[in-house]
Amino acid sequence: MSDKYMDNKELGLILSRTYLAFKRAATRQMSSFGLTPEQFSVLSELSKTEGVSQKRLAELTERDQTTVGKILDKLIKKELVSRSADPSDRRAVRLIITRKGLDLHAQIWPELEQLENQTYKGLKESEVESFIHILNKMYDNLS
């Protein structure tokens, strides 16, 4: 790390710069699979919480419903996600990851783990755990 970064203690800049660098690397990895990081995050959440509403999915991914709707339209067109009627409320729609979506998620996940490992290179496991804990605490403080 160069000295110019050591003097900068502006949290917003540090977080933004790091996020953008990580997102660029993730975008490069996912482009070969035909997905964006935003699409993958929605797909990943659906792999854990199948049958959720669009509203709940927006909450889980920290996005507005309109943005999630646009992402879902693209994932549905790619046959990675489907919409189905909620059996308990015909007006409600449930989102379900398809077999194709699950298979693609399983292909991409190991590559993202490699990217995370690259990101944490040179850090001890305890430092990574502390870092994640601190970031979550900061998020809670702002939420």
Condensed to tens digits (0 to 9), the pLDDT of residues 86-109 reads 777 777 789 999 999 999 999 999
Classify residue 1: in a domain, yes or no: no
Mean pLDDT value of segment 5-23 = 85
**What DSSP character marks residue 122?**
T
Classify residue 55: in a domain, yes or no: yes
Classify residue 28: in a domain, yes or no: yes
Contacts of 126 (CB under 8 A, 6+ apart): none
* Separation CA 115–CA 54 (nearest Å): 29
Look at residue 7 in the predicted model and tell me its pLDDT.
62
Question: Residue written as tokens 């482009």?
Answer: 31
Classify residue 131: in a domain, yes or no: no
Classify residue 57: in a domain, yes or no: yes
Question: Residue written as tokens 């804990």?
Answer: 133
* Separation CA 46–CA 122 (nearest Å): 32
Classify residue 37: in a domain, yes or no: yes
Classify residue 114: in a domain, yes or no: no
CATH number where 82 lies? 1.10.10.10
Domain residue limits at 60: 10-103
DSSP string, 41-100: HHHHHHHHSTTB-HHHHHHHTT--HHHHHHHHHHHHHTTSEEEEEETTEEEEEEEEE-HH
Condensed to tens digits (0 to 9), the pLDDT of residues 32-83 reads 999 999 999 999 999 998 789 888 999 999 999 999 999 999 999 999 999 9
- Give the pTM: 0.82
Classify residue 19: in a domain, yes or no: yes
* Separation CA 39–CA 45 (nearest Å): 10
> How many domains does the chain divide into?
1
Contacts of 72 (CB under 8 A, 6+ apart): 42, 54, 57, 81, 83, 95
